[in-house]
Amino acid sequence: MQHFDVAIIGGGPAGLTAAMALSRSLRRVVVLDSARPPRNAFAEEVHGIVGLDGVSPGEYRRRAWDDLKKYGMAELHEVTGTDVTPDPEVGFTVTAEDGPPMWARRVLLAAGMVDVHPEIEGFGECWGKTVIHCPFCLGWENRDRTWGVVTGDPEFAATAVAGFSAWSDDVIVLTDGATPAGEWGGEVVEGKIRRLHHIGGDLRAVELADGTVIDRQTLLWQLDQRPVPLIAHLAERLGLATDGDGYVEVDGSFHTSVPGVYAAGDLVTEAQAAVESAAGGSGAAFQIIADAGRP
């Protein structure tokens, strides 16, 4: 069985940035990154990381591993992690569905979240282009277009028109059939969304279940999310603490409720962006290094 200082489960910005900080600190690292398409596979570009702005997700990963290989401290295992079992001494056995088990002194969970896509005609073709989840990620590319904010959260909707005015001066709220009581603010369109009219992923209009067609060029859609199967499994078996929405709970130093297990990136927060995840991965790595020097 291979032994590592740290096993990182997840090979996105959080996991890769952590691997860099740990490699430069002479820690032997394994990164478990599923061979399945990543969550951002629909996106054509990654934005917000200075010096890498506009690279594709695939190019971002390739460059990251080119950098990591210079240090010779990190290994990539294209496997899906399935369990983390505390060792009777100090450390963990990490198992995967398509690879041998390995041992690590510490574990960093950085596997992100899974978006729950609605079964709506045209959604998949527009997702990551003109149907977006984050204005900081793709707002620039969708500037000066007509926007619709799809949400069932009145508090979020009440801030949407003013909050997104830098990108569009024509913003409405679409509730997709969920209209709880509250102050929504701005123009609100109720009704279930049935179809997105588009040309090659370039949104043209939103069609509701009653046949109403609303001209819109961009949708910012608050999708539901769920944790990857491993996180749900660890919550049940190890008592890994998660909140009501499935996000892993951490303290200010990236510690989870399981000693020796840390978490960073999208799986700990709804404030999700590549640069935020990278910052979290760096912070978690520094904490792992600091903790190693404590009794």
In total, the chain counts a number of residues equal to 295
**104-140 residue pLDDT tens:** 999 999 999 988 999 999 999 999 999 998 888 899 9
Return d(Cα 77, Cα 84) in angstroms, integer: 16
Residue 295 has pLDDT above 70, yes or no: no
Q: Give the pLDDT of residue 294.
A: 63
Q: Give the pLDDT of residue 150.
A: 94
Half-sphere exposure of 212 (CA within 13 A, CB side): 12
Q: Give the pLDDT of residue 292.
A: 85
Q: Give the pLDDT of residue 162.
A: 83
Q: What is the mean pLDDT of residues 79-85?
A: 94
**6-47 residue pLDDT tens:** 999 999 999 999 999 999 999 999 999 987 777 766 777 888
Residue 190 has pLDDT above 60, yes or no: yes
Helix (H) or strand (E) holding 156: helix 154-163
| Residue 130 Rama label (left phi>0; alpha psi -120 to 50; beta) | alpha
pTM for the whole structure: 0.90
Residue 122 burial (C-beta neighbours within 10 Å; 0-12, 13-18, 19+): buried
User: What's the Cα-to-Cα distance from 86 to each of 8, 57, 100, 104, 237, rounded to whole Å?
Assistant: 15, 33, 17, 10, 11
Q: Give the pLDDT of residue 154.
A: 87
- Tell me if 172 sits within 8 A of 149, measured CB to CB: yes
- Tell me if 138 sits within 8 A of 166, measured CB to CB: no
Q: Are strands 99-109 and 92-96 parallel, antiparallel or unpaired?
A: antiparallel
